[in-house]
Structure formats: C-alpha cells, structure tokens
C-alpha cells in the first residue's frame, strides 16, 4: 500500500475516533441536563412565610406556588391591606371610620365602606339565628365589665340593665345598595372585633389569590383559612388549642381534605378571663343577660369556607353554649366542634353537619 493511501486511511480513523469522543461527551451532557431537569421537577416548591403583629394580635401566613411569585410584592400589599383594615373597622382607634360612626349621635343615614356594610350584612342573620347571642353592638358591655381597658370588675344589676337598653343589633338598619347605615338609638355603637379577624383573613387571602397563589394558610389571631395542600402534595394539618388558662397545647388535630378552601375559627373562654371573689369570669358576654356566660362550653370551632362567617358563628356558639348551640347548628347546618369542661375533663363533640362533612377530619392530638 502506498504511503499516501496509508496516510489517508489513518486520517479517516482519527476523525472517526474524534467523532466518537464528541458523541460520548454530547451524550454525557444530555444526561446531566436531563438529571438536572428531573431534579428540578421533583424538588418541592419553596414555602414562603410572613409573620407580623397587627390589630392587637399576631399573624402567620404560609404559602407556596408552582410558578414564580414575588414574595416581597405579596408582603407589601398585605401590609397595605392591614393598614386599611385598621383604619376602617378598628375599635381602638378614635380616627377609624367605624369609630366615626359610633361617635356620631345622629340617627340619619350615614355612609360606610362597602366592605364594612358587607360585614354588617353577614352579622344580621347570625344575630337573628343565634337569638341575639351574637350582637356586634355589645361593645358597651365589654366597657362596663372592664375587658377593654383591663380594669376588670363586676358591675351591679342596675348598671347592666342601663347598658342593655343602649344595645341591640336590631337597632341597626342597612341600605346595602347605597352603602349606608343608620341607627335608631343615638348612643348605639358597633364593635366588629368578633368578625375582624375573619375579615382580615379573607382580605389577605384575596391578595394571594390575586397573585395566582392557591396553596396557603392565612392565620390571624388563631383563626385561619386553609387552601390547597402542602408541597408534595400533603394535606394541611391544623391543631386546635387546648382550652387551658395560662398555656396553649394541642387538643385535637384537623386534617384539611377540601382543597377548595376551609376556614377554621375558634372562640374560647381560655382566651381572656378574670377572677373576682374566687369566681372566674369569661370575656364571652351574653348580650341577652349582660353577663359572662356560665355554661361549661370552653371552646367552639366553626368550619366554613368564609372566615368572616365562621368568625361570627364561633363567637355565637360560645355565647350560646353546647345545648343551645347544637340546636342552632342543626337547624342552620353549621359545622361546629365543641369542647366542654366536664368536671375537669375536656370532652370534644361534633355537630351533625360536621360529622357528615368530608371537608375535614378531626383526630386526637398525638
């Protein structure tokens, strides 16, 4: 074979070897890219958390999204919403819009924000169905008993009777079409603290939904709205606090099955109380008697899909007690988890609507 031919063949062999090496490198590169993509696909999305203090309580928000969402933008918009809510319905700020209505002694129609009107509309049927046990005009009774300024005392029967004449949600008239409200008693005040946490949760959840976030827990003051599921996916699990004065511990655990949104609102006598002459007085006042409740229901948790509704009903249930509350819950189809103190033992029970619901599962704490 001629030298020229041998050189040509050798060059061809070298080129083939080079191509084989390039193919091997390319194949390895493709493998690395595929592995990276697979890792990215299987890695759970990051959980974002927002914590803070507002309206006299704490809040904690946990959320995640499969698509990119700017967490700073979400946090900033939430802070703006919290400022707006405080300005709108705060009972502690003399310059809030609601306090402006309360300070007025006019019985003429007055304008209020549409969102406040909506809260009053939510409250009306609950006031009616709870036989007046839920009453957003109960504020003067809280003042009388000293719950607002922490100067607790037991008022006289005459003092209670006088204040009762100045309250009653039936003295509030609503014109929702024109965002107006009037009171038929000049001295009547509206206190929306019993639905304020639920309203705040609802507002903050709307912000997450606006950004396309559908998996979250918005917790405010112990109440919350739970949507979607954990990354994985795993179901969200929530602990119900044990109604023990001075400390909080898990009494039962709620597993949220309904990913379309479940609100969990709890009202309990353990949240605030005072002792006088050896007797404990709950901060839950019955507007019908003007006095703190005396039944053995220490906690009521309402499961709903609207935290504003659930918040109001939780207060109503704790006011009514287990017996009356269960009757109302059956009639209105309300999902309630009651905890009673039976001779020092905490006993939980479910309303028929909750027993038959698949939205949540309640189990004893581990």
For residue 150, what pLDDT is reported?
84
Give the pLDDT score at 279.
83
Per-residue pLDDT of the chain (366 residues; tens, 9 = 90+): 555 555 554 554 455 455 454 444 344 344 443 444 444 455 778 999 999 999 889 999 999 999 999 999 999 999 999 999 999 999 889 999 999 999 999 999 999 999 999 999 999 999 999 999 999 999 899 899 998 888 888 999 999 999 999 999 999 999 999 999 999 999 999 999 999 999 999 999 999 999 999 999 999 999 999 999 999 889 999 988 766 655 556 678 999 999 999 999 999 876 567 788 888 888 889 999 999 988 999 999 999 999 999 999 999 999 999 999 999 999 999 999 999 999 989 899 999 999 999 999 998 644
CA distance 182 to 163: 20
Helix (H) / strand (E) element for 338: namely strand 335-342
List beta partners, residue 218. Answer: 61, 225
* Sign of torsion over alpha carbons 222, 227, 228, 232: negative
Could you say which DSSP state residue 242 is in?
P
∠ Cα 312 321 58 (to 5°)? 40
CA gap 243, 320 in Å, rounded: 17
Tokens 């700020």, residue located: 93
Backbone angles phi, psi at 321, to 5 degrees: 90, 170
3-state secondary structure of 249: coil
pLDDT in the model for residue 15: 55
Q: Structure pTM?
A: 0.85
Task: Report which of 139, 206, 207 is spatially closest to residue 169, judged by C-alpha positions.
Answer: 139
**Contact of 101 with 90, CB cutoff 8 Å:** no
Bridge partners of 255, per DSSP, are 237, 361
Q: What is the pLDDT of residue 250?
A: 63
Nearest-angstrom CA–CA distance, 123 and 190 = 11
Closest residue by Cα to residue 111 from 174, 185, 193:
174
The phi, psi pair for 162, rounded to 5°, reads: -65, -40
Cβ atoms < 10 Å from Cβ of 161 = 11
**Contact status, residue 240 vs residue 250, Cβ threshold 8 Å:** yes
């Amino acid at each position: 074979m001629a030298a020229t031919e041998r050189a040509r063949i050798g060059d061809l062999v070298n080129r083939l070897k080079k191509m084989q090496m390039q193919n091997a490198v390319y194949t390895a590169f493709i493998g690395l890219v595929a592995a990276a993509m697979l890792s990215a696909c299987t890695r759970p999305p990051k959980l974002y958390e927002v914590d803070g203090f507002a309206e006299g309580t704490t809040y904690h928000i946990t959320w995640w999204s499969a698509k990119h969402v700017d967490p700073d933008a979400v946090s900033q918009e939430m802070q703006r919403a919290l400022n707006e809510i405080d300005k709108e319905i705060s009972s502690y700020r003399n310059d809030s819009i609601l306090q402006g209505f309360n300070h007025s002694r006019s019985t003429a129609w007055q304008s209020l924000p549409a969102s406040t009107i909506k809260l009053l509309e939510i409250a009306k049927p609950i006031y009616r169905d709870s036989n007046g046990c839920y009453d957003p005009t109960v504020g003067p009774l809280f003042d009388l008993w000293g719950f607002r300024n922490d100067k607790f005392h037991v008022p006289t029967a005459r003092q209670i009777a006088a204040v009762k004449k100045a309250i009653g949600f039936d003295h509030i008239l609503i014109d929702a079409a024109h965002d107006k409200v009037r009171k038929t008693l000049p001295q009547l005040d509206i206190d929306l603290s019993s639905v304020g946490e639920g309203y705040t949760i609802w507002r903050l959840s709307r912000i997450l939904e606006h950004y396309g976030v559908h998996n979250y827990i918005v917790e405010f003051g112990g109440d919350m709205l739970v949507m979607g599921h954990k990354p994985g996916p795993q179901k969200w699990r929530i602990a119900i606090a044990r109604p023990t004065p001075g400390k909080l511990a898990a009494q039962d655990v709620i597993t949220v099955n309904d990913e379309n949104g479940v609100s969990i609102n709890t009202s309990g006598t353990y949240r605030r109380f005072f002792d006088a002459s050896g007797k404990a007085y709950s901060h839950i006042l019955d507007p019908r008697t003007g006095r703190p409740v005396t039944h053995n229901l220490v906690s009521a948790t309402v499961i709903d899909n609207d935290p504003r509704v659930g918040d109001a009903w939780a207060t109503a249930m704790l006011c009514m007690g287990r017996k009356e509350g269960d009757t109302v819950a059956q009639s209105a189809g309300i999902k309630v988890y009651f905890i009673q103190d039976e001779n020092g033992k905490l006993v939980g029970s479910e309303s028929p609507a909750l027993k038959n619901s698949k939205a949540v599962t309640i189990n004893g704490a581990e």
